[in-house]
């Protein structure tokens, strides 16, 4: 199958961050040409007045909680956890599947082509992602046996999931130690061993709230990142979600350990965690920082365009500096930096010949995106665009959503 996208404004996100007027050719699952592309294709898409861009990468979510949207709005963080943990404990695998399929549909329709998830019953999430046609990195939640509502041992459940789902085209199993508040040193050691044995990484919540930090200091005498470093847990290629309440020393430890961060500004603000993740400082120190929505219970949306704008405004406002982070840097976080965090920069994150064909078309002809040209296309994507402006989403060379509808798949 070949697809030729004609006459679009292409935001390449390549090394030189080129924005050009031209064509993009997809053959099979790869980008075969970009710029002035001749020849024919099985399908031709006229992208006049549209922005052609890399698919967005949601670096932290709980996609199956899409059907729990609004379950715990406007309550304290402790009450939020009480409500969501209670809901999690009573969900059937079928409910998890339906929620995941709904969430995957929302992401496909709003320009997300790849996501990193952390939850239990990731086998159900994997089935939903495959049905929706999305690229998914799925971390099965691992925690102490006496703190889980899972049937059986979480570490054994995770190991079984990895065995059963490794080697798939779009699905990559990941180990998901929940966080220092639910994992003992022994559990973290077993999670690390499992990840090492299977050639994967760990994805976990880290220093999301002040309470999480202080509780661990009472228990272990150290702040979370310091403690994880002391027990030898921090690992190259890991992805830590949130990382709001961290010191400069801890930040440097994360960067030097090769741990990436998934910044979730909307969730952090809605749950009033109180701090602001030091995104510019982490980036300046050489760290990899991507962008995530978190789940619908704490965000109410999986729209990564909204997340980009929120990220930018939060950093500017909190630092009293409108230049602290640019639109280009925020778009990088949602594309190239997310790809680097996943170890997929050679295949994802930019539109270049030979890379995977994860491509999004955005309608820039509407009043809210006008005027649009090569000089302001990135600015419009970050500050003016909504996921509702997406008119076509392509994953691995296949159209998964077009004109507000899924392409041949059902949300159930």
Task: Please report, for the chain, the start and end positions of each structural domain, with discontinuous segments joined by +.
Answer: 2-54+350-405, 56-341
- How far apart, in whole angstroms, are the C-alpha atoms of residue 161 and residue 157? 6
Residue-by-residue pLDDT tens, the chain, 412 positions:
999 999 999 999 999 999 999 999 999 999 999 998 978 899 999 999 999 999 999 999 999 999 999 999 999 999 998 899 888 888 999 999 999 999 999 999 999 999 999 999 999 999 999 999 999 999 999 999 999 888 889 999 999 999 999 999 999 999 999 999 999 999 999 999 999 999 999 999 999 999 999 999 999 999 999 999 999 999 999 999 999 999 999 999 999 999 999 999 999 999 999 989 999 999 999 999 999 999 999 999 999 999 999 999 999 999 999 999 999 999 999 999 999 999 999 999 999 999 999 999 999 999 999 999 999 999 999 999 999 999 999 999 999 999 999 986 444 3
Q: 2-54+350-405: CATH homologous superfamily?
A: Urease, subunit C, domain 1 (2.30.40.10)
Pairing state of beta strands 56-61 and 50-54?
unpaired
CA neighbor of 286 nearest in space, from 337, 348, 320: 337
Whether residue 330 contacts residue 312, with contact meaning beta carbons closer than 8 Å, is answered with yes
137-149 burial string, b = 16+ CB within 10 Å, else e? bbbbbbbbeeebe
Class of 56-341 in CATH: alpha beta
242-254 burial string, b = 16+ CB within 10 Å, else e? bbbbbeeebbbbb
Query: Which residue's structure tokens are 């665009």?
Result: 385
- How far apart, in whole angstroms, are the C-alpha atoms of residue 339 and residue 348? 6
What does pTM read for this prediction?
0.96
Whether residue 97 contacts residue 124, with contact meaning beta carbons closer than 8 Å, is answered with yes
Each residue's pLDDT tens digit, 57-115? 999 999 999 999 999 999 999 999 889 988 888 899 999 999 999 999 999 999 999 99
pLDDT of residue 261: 98
Structure tokens given for 344: 């997929």
pLDDT of residue 408: 66
Whether residue 99 contacts residue 67, with contact meaning beta carbons closer than 8 Å, is answered with yes
């Amino acid at each position: 199958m070949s697809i030729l996208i004609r006459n679009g404004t292409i935001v390449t996100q390549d090394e030189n961050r080129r924005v050009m007027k031209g064509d993009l050719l997809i053959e099979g699952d790869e980008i075969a040409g970009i710029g002035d592309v001749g020849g024919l294709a099985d399908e031709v898409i006229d992208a006049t007045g549209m922005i052609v861009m890399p698919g967005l990468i949601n670096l932290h979510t709980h996609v199956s909680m899409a059907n729990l949207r609004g379950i715990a709005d406007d309550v304290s963080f402790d009450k939020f956890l009480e409500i969501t943990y209670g809901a999690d404990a009573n969900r059937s695998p079928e409910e998890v599947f339906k929620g995941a399929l709904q969430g995957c549909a929302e992401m496909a329709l709003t320009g997300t082509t790849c996501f990193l998830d952390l939850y239990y019953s990731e086998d159900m999430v994997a089935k939903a992602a495959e049905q929706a046609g999305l690229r998914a990195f799925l971390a099965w939640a691992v925690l102490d046996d006496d703190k889980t509502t899972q049937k059986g041992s979480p570490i054994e459940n995770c190991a079984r999931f990895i065995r059963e789902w490794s080697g798939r085209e779009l699905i990559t199993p990941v180990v998901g130690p929940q966080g220092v508040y639910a994992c003992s040193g022994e559990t973290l050691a077993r999670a690390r061993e499992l990840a090492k044995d299977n050639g994967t990484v760990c994805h976990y919540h880290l220093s999301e709230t002040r309470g999480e930090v202080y509780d661990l200091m009472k228990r272990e005498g150290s702040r979370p990142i310091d403690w994880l470093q002391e027990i030898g847990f921090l690992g190259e290629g890991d992805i830590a979600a949130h990382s709001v309440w961290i010191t400069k020393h801890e930040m440097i430890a994360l960067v030097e350990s090769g741990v990436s961060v998934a910044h979730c500004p909307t969730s952090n603000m809605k749950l009033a965690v109180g701090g602001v993740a030091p995104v510019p400082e982490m980036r300046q120190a050489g760290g990899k920082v991507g962008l995530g929505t978190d789940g619908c219970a704490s965000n109410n949306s999986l729209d990564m365009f909204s997340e980009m704008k929120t990220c930018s405004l939060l950093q500017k406002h909190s630092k009293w500096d409108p230049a602290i982070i640019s639109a280009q840097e925020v778009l990088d976080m949602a594309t190239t930096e997310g790809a680097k965090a996943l170890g997929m920069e050679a295949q994802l994150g930019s539109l270049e010949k030979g890379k995977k064909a994860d491509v999004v078309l955005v309608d820039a002809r509407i009043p809210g995106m006008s005027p649009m040209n090569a000089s302001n296309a990135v600015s419009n994507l970050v500050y003016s665009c909504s996921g509702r402006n997406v008119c076509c989403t392509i994953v691995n060379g296949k159209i998964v959503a077009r004109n507000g509808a899924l392409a041949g798949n059902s949300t159930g």
